[in-house]
């Protein structure tokens, strides 16, 4: 009996600590990871004249994610893209995209995305959030994957993500088009999005 009592005196405090969220409990350690512009891409592609696809990217953007990667939990994910940075490797086309027919960059210099919720589906995650473009906010879904995490030679913690999605540009009021002789359209309505994002864990302030 004395031996059992000693065991209980040892085990009970440990049990209380675990239940109360103390030492040994699984704790979510949220941290902010900022997008590394030099190692990230925000790309899109859209049908052109029904025979090919035009691909472009935005070269100026910011974003961050607050997450606990060990427990695969996310608090927040936000991104801001400067629309004037659209680049399709063709100056005349880029100037048209920057104009009032498309991104109207003078009136709407940015587009934004903010995560609302997410859920796991197989090996991927469905990120459901609000995208604001041309002053219009619509809910869109991105299919994303956390590729992995590593330490770089300078002691920074890095995380890599990939995500894909699709929007209909007309939903945001981007309606410009021309009809071809065969009845088709010069520019497709569906725009496919592909993100390759590398983030750096923010260092504690102070």
Has residue 101 been placed in a domain?
yes
pLDDT of residue 101: 97
The answer to the question of residue 14 being in a domain is no
Which domain, by its residues, includes 36?
28-201
Return the bridge partners of 140, or none.
129
* pLDDT for 154: 93
Per-residue confidence (pLDDT) for residue 183, from 0 to 100:
74
Least-confidence region, from 14-18, 55-59, 71-75, 188-192: 14-18
In a domain, 22, yes or no: no
Burial, 110: exposed, middle or buried (Cβ in 10 Å; 0-12, 13-18, 19+)?
middle
Tens of pLDDT, residues 174-198: 999 999 878 788 899 999 999 999 9
Alpha-carbon gap, residue 108 to 134, rounded angstroms: 6
- For residue 162, tell me if it sits in a domain: yes
Per the domain annotation, does 124 fall within a domain? Answer: yes
pLDDT, position 27: 45
pLDDT for the residue 50: 83
**CA atoms 17, 20, 26, 30: torsion sign:** negative
Phi-psi region for residue 98, left (φ > 0), alpha (ψ -120 to 50) or beta? alpha
65 inside domain = yes
In a domain, 3, yes or no: no
Is pLDDT above 60 for 15? Answer: no
Question: Would you state the pLDDT for residue 206?
Answer: 61
Mean pLDDT score, 153-159: 94
**Does residue 141 register a pLDDT over 70?**
yes
Write the CATH number for 80: 2.40.128.110
**What length is written for the chain?**
206
> How many domains does the chain contain in total?
1
Q: What are phi and psi of 42, to 5 degrees?
A: -120, 105
pTM: 0.83
Measured CA to CA, the distance from residue 64 to residue 49 in angstroms comes to 36
- Residue 17 in any domain: the answer is no
């Amino acid at each position: 009996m004395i031996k059992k009592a000693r065991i209980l005196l040892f085990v009970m405090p440990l049990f209380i600590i675990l239940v109360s969220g103390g030492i040994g409990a699984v704790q979510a350690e949220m941290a902010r990871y900022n997008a590394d512009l030099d190692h990230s891409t925000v790309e899109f592609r859209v049908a052109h004249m029904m025979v090919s696809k035009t691909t472009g990217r935005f070269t100026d953007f910011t974003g961050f994610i607050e997450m606990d990667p060990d427990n695969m939990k996310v608090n927040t994910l936000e991104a801001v893209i400067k629309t004037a940075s659209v680049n399709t490797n063709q100056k005349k086309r880029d100037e048209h995209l920057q104009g009032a027919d498309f991104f109207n960059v003078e009136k709407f210099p940015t587009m934004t995305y903010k995560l609302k919720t997410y859920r796991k589906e197989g090996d991927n995650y469905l990120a459901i959030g609000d995208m604001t473009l041309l002053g219009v906010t619509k809910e869109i879904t991105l299919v994303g994957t956390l590729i992995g995490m590593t330490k770089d030679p300078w002691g920074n913690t890095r995380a890599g993500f990939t995500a894909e999605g699709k929007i209909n540009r007309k939903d945001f009021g981007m309606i410009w088009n021309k009809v071809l002789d065969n009845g088709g359209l010069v520019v497709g309505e569906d725009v496919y999005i592909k993100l390759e994002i590398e983030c750096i864990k923010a260092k504690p302030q102070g």
